[in-house]
Structure 1
Amino acid sequence: MKLVRHGPAGTERPGLVDAQGRIRDLSAHVDDIAGKTLSDEGLARIAALDPASLPLVDEGTRIGPCVGQVGKFVCIGLNYSDHAAESGLDVPPEPIVFMKATSAICGPDDGIELPRGSVATDWEVELAVVIGRHAKYVSEADALSHVAGYCVANDVSERDFQTKRAGQWTKGKSADTFGPLGPWLVTRDEVGDPQALDLWLDLNGKRMQTGSTATMIFGVAKVISYLSQMMSLHPGDVISTGTPPGVGMGIKPAPVYLKPGDRLALGIEGLGTQTQLVRAAD
């Protein structure tokens, strides 16, 4: 299934995408695409519904982030060896973990706001994993059974805030609009192997990133198992799993960063696409 959240920011309603690509409203059946709805049992109840019996949502309705009430937004850094190389950093011996503020989460097409003082805001197309049931000390073999589904993420990053200011990467990753998620949450049964998905990103119509999750250093199952040794993962938690090469900071001879008026388009095979207009902070 493809699950969505639609409507104005902050008051999104749950929905699903029918076989014709139309959004159907789920409000009569679930409160949100969050919490217990993301369990295997919750998803099975939605799957048992006849989409034709659900109200159609008006075309042109805003699409919000595909999961609500996110408790944790966990990210994995340098998880593609070629991205580590373009960043001038060694391949990590174990996953690099940082957090992104949940207030950064926005809809897939809401646009990106450059924070005040930004001179180095960058793009990163990533596969995001949404947890469906509590995971603590899980094995790698059992890890994927804890996944509700997958979606597209753009791990937008202010590189100067991230690397030239004292402290952790989080401060360069957490500005408002720096976490577009969606358009859809695609359930794990429909995705199949998360290590066989193509990713891409265009800047102003020019292809900048092309990659495959097959080249991750630490695959999705490894990442979930690893994180669960250090923290409990709860339904609705989001894990962004790293980006392939082609980010702005890696461009030679001089990096390229986002400026007002730029347009991004990005997507992952089977998970849909995002489009973002870059704007200056108010």
Structure 2
Amino acid sequence: MLVLVTGINGQLGYDVVKELTAKGHEAVGVDRAQLDITDEAAVSAFVQNLEPQAIIHCAAYTNVDAAETDQEGAYKVNALGTKYLAEAAKHVDAKMVYVSTDYVFDGNGTEPYEVDHPTSPLGVYGETKLAGEKILQDTLDKCFIVRTAWVYGINGNNFVKTMLKLAQDRSELGVVYDQVGSPTYTVDLAGFLVELVDSDKFGIYHASNEGVCSWHEFAVEIFNQAGLDIKVNALTSEEFPRPAARPKYSVLSKKKIVNQGFTPMRDWKEALKDYLKELS
């Protein structure tokens, strides 16, 4: 299968191309320089010329804090970019995977969010990602929406890299303990996305590694596994203010992955171990 992958220079797109190639598919990865997804004519021409059988759309405006003041920029990428890709996919009869986020929920839950739970984003990033979801569903029948959370991979910046970097010149750190979720290793998520695109089981899915932790617990585990003696102090979200509000509870229910016969992702601690090996 010929698959177009957007966001090749991001954490996820990089691993998706690797996984597609490993599974015998032909992957064409693009970044902003090769294809500006906010340019409707460029997207249409590129997809018609390539004629992929599937598109895995990993490119996104992911700077949650910057989105609060750059609403137009975030909407262009997350909503309009998705619209243009979906229209182009429809034209060549390709299926499409759109990677979405836990930020479509308000984080006030206490039970893992099911795929049909009412959405209620707290900020611009979540609103624009949700707009992308709705546009895709309105445009294309052959589509998958995959909501994920707390993503980290070898390419680009992430929480794990930040913690390890801070540990180089500090022996003590403060990390919030009142935001809970499930870390997601891009290698594992890429595996699921490729398994999904190989099928015709369209719809919304939630995908993250198994298990639940707070950011504080995540940081402690990173240092434990890396063999670093760092004291991690527990902070409240109020003690660490950010321009954009974060969901307090980001745990996603992966029931549908199992119900549809796909392979569940492994525990987050096991995934972290492999990631630290990959980093070193």
State whether TM-score is above 0.5. no
Normalization by structure 2: what TM-score? Answer: 0.29
Normalization by structure 1: what TM-score? Answer: 0.29
Q: As a proportion of its length, which structure holds more strand?
A: 1
Higher relative contact order (CA 8 A, sep 6+): 1
Q: As a proportion of its length, which structure holds more helix?
A: 2
